[in-house]
Amino acid sequence: MRWADLEGRPRILVRPDGELLWSNLAADAAMDEGLDVRRTDGRFELVHPAEQAAFLQFLSGASGAIGAWCSPQAGEGVVIFRAWRIDVEGDEAIGLVFHTTGGDYVPRWADFGRALGLTATEHRIALRLLDGVRIESVAKDMGITLATARTHVRNLYQKLSIGSREALFRRLAPFRIA
C-alpha cells in the first residue's frame, strides 16, 4: 500500500479542467459514495452542478502556494478543498486534498503536548477545550473536580504564555493537521 492510501485523507491529482489523473483509496471511496464529489467520464466533479463552475475557476487559479475553497456539503457543513499546482513529470497538475466539516468530522492534531512540554492531562484538557467543551464538562468527563481542572488550565496557559481560550486556539492552530 502506498503512503497516500495509508494516510486516509482524500487526495487527488487533476488537470485544471478537472480531468482526473490519480486518486487515493479515500478519494475513490468519496467519489463512489457520491454525496459531495463524484467521478464522471474520467473527470472529478462536485455533485452540486451550481458549484462546478466556481470549482473549476478555483482549480484554474491554483498556484504553487496552497489555496483553499469551500463548497456546501450534501448534509450539514461544507467540503473544504486545499489545492496547489504541481509539476508531474513535465505535465501540469493540481494536487487536491479535501475533507468535510459536518457532524462526523474529527480534527486531527500533531502531538503538541510533547512539543510544548505539557503533561498528559494538560494535553487532554487542551484537546477538549479546542473541541469547544466547557471546563465544567471536561472536569466531569475526566472524573476530576472543577478546581483541579481549572488548575490544569492555569498550568497549560502558563506553559503556553497565553491568557485566554482564544489565545489557545491561535497558539495551537499550527499543530492542526486535518
pLDDT tens-place string over residues 62-121: 998 999 999 988 777 889 999 999 987 888 899 999 988 876 677 888 999 999 999 999
Q: What is the pTM of this model?
A: 0.69
Please state the separation of Cα 152 from the chain's center in Å: 27
Q: Per residue in 117-145, pLDDT tens?
A: 999 999 999 999 998 899 999 999 999 99
Dihedral angle computed from the Cα positions of residues 45, 49, 50 and 52, in that order, rounded to the nearest 10 degrees? 20
Instruction: Give whole-number Cα distances, 156 to 113, 120, 175, in Å.
Output: 10, 11, 16
Q: What is the DSSP letter of 9?
A: S
Helix (H, G, I), strand (E, B) or coil at 4: helix
Number of helices (H), then strands (E), belonging to the chain: the values are 8, 7
Phi, psi of 88 (to 5 degrees): -115, 100
* pLDDT value at residue 151: 97
pLDDT at 174 over 60: yes
Q: Are 15 and 21 in contact (CB under 8 A)?
A: yes
Give the residue with greater pLDDT, 7 vs 109.
Answer: 109
* pLDDT value at residue 59: 93
pLDDT at 2 over 80: no
* pLDDT value at residue 5: 64
